[in-house]
Structure 1
Amino acid sequence: MSIDFLLTSLIVVASPGTGVLLTLAAGLSRGARASMVAAFGCTLGIVPHMAAAVMGLAALLHTSAIAFQTLKYLGVAYLLYMAWTTLKEQGALRVDKDMSPRSARQVIVAAILVNILNPKLSIFFLAFLPQFVSAADPHPLGRMLELSLVFMLLTFVVFVGYGLFAAGIRNHVISRPRVLTSMRRTFAGAFAALGARLAFAER
């Protein structure tokens, strides 16, 4: 396992994106347990992209404009939906005192969808992983799977860190209605901005 791979992966994972945003929102609105659930869901959302890259299916998104655009606009629609529900106090920043089983499932589903509906992740894996697999490696598939699992582990650990930080300041936020309202608007705007960025993304 090269240092270059670990550093590059850490930079990619720690960079603010939809997964980070959702995990922060879960920590702020529902506490530490919810943030860990969100981090787990975001990590699970990587699996289809990882599998697509390992099996070469991500190449389809790179070569087929229709496939890429279809998945992309589904992702855009979902991010805009997240922005709307957050603003209406029904989405990512809905404040719950307890993390019920139903709300846990909702967080996991939302986190998985956020990553699944991002075609850039598949293309990222397609371009990223092969750079760290030697042409002389006798088991390239196993090596790619190993690297992918390390990437997923880093994702989970970093996202849990983000979520626990958000959970730590939760009481300071929810005890101040104006701050909570501002946070809702900020998160809704961020989801909308990420949706707009994805809408203009090219293969």
Structure 2
Amino acid sequence: MTWSFLATALIVVLMPGTGVVYTLAVSLGQGLRAGLVAAAGCTLGILPHMAASILGFAALLHASAVAFQVLKLAGVAFLLWMAWQVWRGTGALSVERQATHRRMSRLLRDGVALNLLNPKLSVFFLAFLPQFVPADAPDAAWRMTGLALVFMVLTFAAFALYAVFAATLRDRVLSRPGAMAWLRGGFAVSFAALGLRLASIEW
């Protein structure tokens, strides 16, 4: 493992995306424990993409326009559905002081689905991981697996920090009705924008 990998990985995991928005929304709506479960779900959701990159399946996905488009449209639909749930003020992403607490398994499942249905992650890892492993290394697959596991640990740590930050501010923010309305609208718009951005990605 190199410092360049750690530095690059940290930059990637700290960049706001669907996982960060989901973790923040759940943490504000239901508190730290739920936020950490959401973070774990988002982290587990990238595992299939990493496995696909290591095994070479991501290259097949990138080569197949139909497979890529099907996965992309499923991801777009899921993000827009989340945006609608937030906008209505219902579901696990409800940003309210008295939000309905969903089962932890539901939060975990939605977090996994959020990243699992994002085809650009497979293509990203296909281009990202091999940069830090010599092409002629006899144990290249094992090295890539090790880097992938480190990336997942960093991802969960970053998302957990977002969860702690949001949960710490929860009571202060949600005590203001105007702030709750702005947050609900902001998260809904964020999920819709992420869905539209995913839809604009060309194969």
TM-score by length of 2: 0.95
User: How many residues get paired?
Assistant: 202
Matches within 5 A, 1:45-124: 45-91=45-91, 92-95=93-96, 102-124=102-124
Distance 2:131 2:159 in 1: 25
Q: Which residue of 2 aligns with 1:201?
A: 201
Unmatched 5+ stretches in structure 1:
none
The letter for the 1-side match of 2:103 is: S
1:21 counterpart = 2:9? no
Tell me, yes or no, if the aligned pair for 1:29 and 1:96 is still in contact at 8 Å. yes
- CA shift, 1:159, in A, is 0.3
Q: For residue 137 of structure 1, give the secondary structure of its aligned residue in structure 2.
A: coil
Report the CA distance between 1:61 and its aligned residue.
Answer: 1.6
Given that residues 33 and 99 in structure 1 are in contact (C-alpha distance below 8 angstroms), is that contact kept between their aligned partners in structure 2? no
Shift of 1:98: 8.6
Deviation at 1:93, TM superposition (A): 2.5
Give 3-state SS (helix, strand or coil) of 2:103's partner: helix
The answer as to whether partners of 2:72 and 2:118 remain within 8 angstroms in 1 is yes
Question: Percent of aligned positions with the same letter in both sequences?
Answer: 53
Cα 1:120–1:142 shift into 2, 3 Å:
same
Q: CA RMSD in A?
A: 1.5
Moved more, 90-99 or 110-119: 90-99
Q: Deviations over 1:165-197 (max 9, x none)?
A: 000000012211221111000000000000000
Q: Could you tell me how far 1:97 is from its partner in structure 2?
A: 5.4
For residues 162 and 99 of structure 1, what CA distance do their matches in structure 2 show? 21
TM-score, scaled relative to structure 1: 0.95
Please list every run of at least 4 consecutive aligned residues from structure 1 whose deviation after the TM superposition is greater than 6 angstroms.
none
Structure 2: any 5+ residue segments left out of the alignment? none
